[in-house]
Structure 1
């Protein structure tokens, strides 16, 4: 049975160079401790480094009960990480 989730690298390999890819962080991750959120986010950002067209986002919407602080910290982390890569 398919989960409907496509590996980021496989998705990119099947697209034209001018295509964008959005998403890739499981929203359940935002319920984890910060160290796990940062680890999974960093893994995604490392995989897309140097590839134009990636839009960091959750794979789905924010789940009920997700700590707002985790969402805010995630946004700050992605901005800081990507700014340091240019």
Structure 2
């Protein structure tokens, strides 16, 4: 499952994000989206977990959880719109 994680503090990096989700199961990859020019975090990222049960548990328990004084928005990622 591809999981969207929003409202991240700009200091959160991919390793920290992965570590949080590993408490719920195996994480295949973590990505914090950054600005191409400044390299600064855009405040959101993605986690990929293969096990659907583990992924659902992570989404349910982490949505609204506080990380670095910000409440995360965690849900299943939706496919990008094709224009």
Q: Quick check: TM above 0.5?
A: no
Structure showing greater relative contact order (alpha-carbon pairs closer than 8 Å, 6 or more residues apart):
2
The answer to which structure has the higher helix fraction is 1
